[in-house]
Amino acid sequence: MILKTKNLNLFYGSTKAINNCNINIEKNKVTAIIGPSGCGKSTLLRSMNRMNDFIDSFSIKGEILFDEKNIYDSKIDATELRKSIGMVFQKPNPFPKSIYENIIWGPKINGFEGDKDKLVEESLKDAGLWDEVKNRLNDSALSLSGGQQQRLCIARAIAMKPNIILMDEPCSALDPKSTAIIETLIKKLRKNYTILIVTHNMQQAARVSDFTLFLYEGEVIEFGDTEHLFRNPKNKQTEDYITGRFG
Amino acid sequence: MKLIFKRKSKLKEIFFEKIFALCSYLSILTTVLIIYILATESFQFFKQIPITDFLFGTHWEPLLEPKSFGVLPLLFGTLLIVIGSALISIPLGLIIAIYLSQYASSKARRIIKPILEILAGIPTVVYGYFALTFITPIIRIIFPDAEIFNALSGSIVVGIMILPMVASLCDDALQAVPKSLKQGGYALGTTSFEVIKGILIPSAFSGIISSFVLAVSRAFGETMAVTLAAGATPRFTINPLESIQTMTAYIVQVSLGDTPQGGIEYQTIFAVAGLLFIVTLMMNLFSNYIMHKYREVYD
């Protein structure tokens, strides 16, 4: 159990986005969060590395425990936390720097003193991008294709050696071929990382995840083993959603 | 059922197209005419005075005998003002822009932005008067041997004058950086300052640099405030406590005085204006080059 929520309620102003959520995220597994638009998937995900801190109206009740410590405790530094819980965003957002600089920027800023070239190579290899870019590491990251950019962003997250990687609809801006490459990558990454992925694509959830969480209007409707959830959903709403009757 | 539409008048369309075209040609025409006049009058001037004497002479005394036409004192006077005001407005403007775009609450923003706009709207003659009656006395307390008219006072007041422009343009440039880049930075466990320094400023670089260049061009062309603050003594010096004369201030002096039209004295202002034009044109070209070179394309 690497991450746990306890009676978690999330708010924007007076609007409740997540209602009383109690889930356990297992280490070195892929957990998918699915649900129709506006159900709170991204809000829940972003609360886990405190990316919601930047939204003024955001507030939280309850706890999120990472390694048994509440990450919203006043003693926890959000900046430190984000070193252990990395994130990949909906749209690829490489920095306007070289491919090499994109990977090394985070570690460098945080005082990395080891072999930079080696770290860049390892991270790019882990993200399955090395062979495509090894001869053009000094080219601008913006010259890469969308799919490559997203893998670069994954490599950038990996370079910080986090424990958890949060992925917020990482394939929604990509074509099917790039999506397939990233899905294969996610399955491979679980060996070393715990992954939470928000997706609006149920097939994707079924393909890549070990566990699936179905959210609807801020409520956890069903959470469990992906195969079980897709084969024998316990809840009528889950069944309706995954069979495409709504959403 | 078939819908029947009234035929639109093609003539009206053509009429408006021509009007719009005419307006844009008018601006080209004005530019061409200005360049033409500057060129022909300067040509007359350079027929009598060798261009090397003009460009490299260190003594500017075109109105009194014995006449000398070395433009370097005016150029140095101008550069003193430009460099001094840039030293004030560029760092301060960038800092204000960073504060406004990244740290300020929306309330603070609502107060500071309009104040900057007011500052930008004050007539330059008021700035000049402000320099003379407020800044200069302070300078003379700190540096008792400073002259009443001095380049330092002019630099400070021009710096304050172009500060809002730098701040506002840098603010725009920083705001234009996609939020996703900032979030990408924070997600790597970095602080606000690290994200600003490492991501935002490099991403907004082309906009920031072009704001600097625009501000400097403005300082080059500034006339009223520097004439009032820095005086009208063409002097080949780099001492900011002395009175100097800028290129623009000289043009004013001749234009307002009783210099007869057509003489060599009169033609000097076209030569000086031509030099000023070339310098600012080069700055603008440089700014365009930087903008294109460093512009990042986001979707």
Quick one: pLDDT band at residue B197, thresholds 50, 70, 90? very high
Establish if B5 belongs to a structural domain. no
Quote the minimal CA–CA distance from B212 to chain A in Å.
Answer: 21
Establish if B173 belongs to a structural domain. yes
Q: How many helices and strands in chain A, by DSSP H and E?
A: 10, 11
In chain B, which residues touch A (CB < 8 A)? 178, 180-181, 183-191, 194, 198-199, 202-203, 296-297
SS3 B270: helix
Outline where chain B has alpha helix (H).
10-48, 51-56, 72-98, 106-121, 124-130, 136-142, 151-175, 179-186, 192-195, 201-203, 205-221, 224-230, 247-256, 264-294
CB contact under 8 A, B183 and A93: yes
Q: Kindly tell me if the per-residue pLDDT of B295 is higher than 90.
A: no
Establish if B165 belongs to a structural domain. yes
Stated as kind and residue range, the H or E segment containing A44 is helix A41-47
d(CA A145, CA A135): 16
- What average pLDDT score do residues B205-209 get? 89
How confident is the model at residue B296, as a pLDDT?
Answer: 62
Establish if B53 belongs to a structural domain. no
| Nearest by CB: A95 against B181, B194, B297 | B181
- What average pLDDT score do residues B191-208 get? 92
Chain-centroid distance of CA B93 in Å reads 14
Establish if B286 belongs to a structural domain. yes
Q: Which residue of A has its CA nearest to B199?
A: A95
User: Burial, B253: exposed, middle or buried (Cβ in 10 Å; 0-12, 13-18, 19+)?
Assistant: middle
CB contacts, 8 Å: A91 with chain B: 180
Quick one: pLDDT band at residue B297, thresholds 50, 70, 90? low
Number of domains in chain B: 1
Give tens-digit pLDDT for B23-75: 999 999 999 999 999 999 999 899 888 888 889 888 888 887 788 888 999 99
Range of the domain at B236: 75-294
**CATH number of the domain that residue B237 is part of:** 1.10.3720.10
**List of domains in chain A:** 3-93+162-242 (3.40.50.300)
| Nearest by CB: A142 against B183, B184, B297 | B297
User: In chain A, which stretches have pLDDT less than 70?
Assistant: 247
CB contacts, 8 Å: A95 with chain B: 181, 184-185, 199, 202-203
d(CA B153, CA B172): 29
Q: Which residue of A has its CA nearest to B298?
A: A142
- What are residue B157's DSSP bridge partners? none
**Under a CB-based contact definition with an 8 Å cutoff, are residues A224 and A25 in contact?**
no
CB contacts, 8 Å: A86 with chain B: 187-188
**Under a CB-based contact definition with an 8 Å cutoff, are residues B152 and B129 in contact?**
no
CB contacts, 8 Å: B295 with chain A: none
Establish if B17 belongs to a structural domain. no
CB contact under 8 A, B189 and A110: yes
Q: Kindly tell me if the per-residue pLDDT of B299 is higher than 50.
A: no
Q: Find which of A48, A71, A77, A95 to mutate to test the B interface (most B CBs within 10 Å of its CB).
A: A95
Q: Rounded to the nearest 5 degrees, what angle is found at the Cα of B230, between the Cα atoms of B225 and B234?
A: 125
d(CA B81, CA B94): 19
Q: Kindly tell me if the per-residue pLDDT of B272 is higher than 90.
A: yes
Sign of CA dihedral A226, A232, A235, A237: positive
Strand locations in chain A (E): 3-12, 15-21, 24-25, 30-34, 58-66, 69-70, 85-88, 164-168, 194-198, 211-216, 219-225
Of B84, B57, B15, nearest in space to B239 by CA:
B84
Q: Kindly tell me if the per-residue pLDDT of B260 is higher than 80.
A: no
Q: Rounded to the nearest 5 degrees, what angle is found at the Cα of B84, between the Cα atoms of B82 and B90?
A: 85
d(CA B98, CA B112): 13
CB contacts, 8 Å: B198 with chain A: 105, 109
CB contacts, 8 Å: B296 with chain A: 96, 142
Q: Kindly tell me if the per-residue pLDDT of B101 is higher than 70.
A: yes
| Nearest by CB: B180 against A93, A97, A105 | A93
| Helix %, strand %, coil % of chain A (to 5) | 40, 25, 35
- What average pLDDT score do residues B223-248 get? 88
CB contact under 8 A, B187 and A82: yes
Q: Which residue of A has its CA nearest to B295?
A: A96
CB contact under 8 A, A91 and B180: yes
d(CA B38, CA B272): 9
Establish if B31 belongs to a structural domain. no
Q: Which residue of B has its CA nearest to A167?
A: B187
Q: Rounded to the nearest 5 degrees, what angle is found at the Cα of B234, between the Cα atoms of B267 and B43?
A: 20
| Nearest by CB: A83 against B184, B189, B198 | B189
Quote the minimal CA–CA distance from B99 to chain A in Å.
Answer: 16
How confident is the model at residue B10, as a pLDDT?
Answer: 85
> Regarding beta strands A30-34 and A211-216, do their DSSP bridges make them parallel or antiparallel, or are they unpaired?
parallel
Q: Kindly tell me if the per-residue pLDDT of B229 is higher than 70.
A: yes
- ipTM (interface predicted TM): 0.91
Q: Find which of A42, A46, A76, A79 to mutate to test the B interface (most B CBs within 10 Å of its CB).
A: A79
Chain-centroid distance of CA B105 in Å reads 30
Establish if B150 belongs to a structural domain. yes
Of B33, B18, B163, B195, nearest in space to B95 by CA:
B163
List the end-to-end C-alpha distance of chain A, in Å, as a whole number: 30
Residues 6+ apart with CB under 8 A from B39: B274
On average, the pLDDT of chain B sits at 89
Residue B50, Ramachandran bin (φ over 0: left; ψ between -120 and 50: alpha; else beta):
beta
Q: Which residue of B has its CA nearest to A96?
A: B203
CB contact under 8 A, B190 and A79: yes
CB contact under 8 A, A87 and B187: yes
Structure tokens at A141: 């990251």
**Under a CB-based contact definition with an 8 Å cutoff, are residues A148 and A132 in contact?**
yes
**Under a CB-based contact definition with an 8 Å cutoff, are residues B245 and B73 in contact?**
yes
Quote the minimal CA–CA distance from A77 to chain B in Å.
Answer: 10
Cβ-Cβ pairs closer than 8 A, A with B, add up to: 66
Residues 6+ apart with CB under 8 A from B50: none
> Regarding beta strands A211-216 and A219-225, do their DSSP bridges make them parallel or antiparallel, or are they unpaired?
antiparallel
Q: Find which of B103, B106, B188 to mutate to test the A interface (most A CBs within 10 Å of its CB).
A: B188
Structure tokens at B229: 């603050």
How confident is the model at residue B67, as a pLDDT?
Answer: 83
Give tens-digit pLDDT for B124-170: 999 999 999 999 999 999 999 888 899 999 999 999 999 999 999 99
SS3 B275: helix
Of A191, A108, A189, A109, nearest in space to A155 by CA:
A189
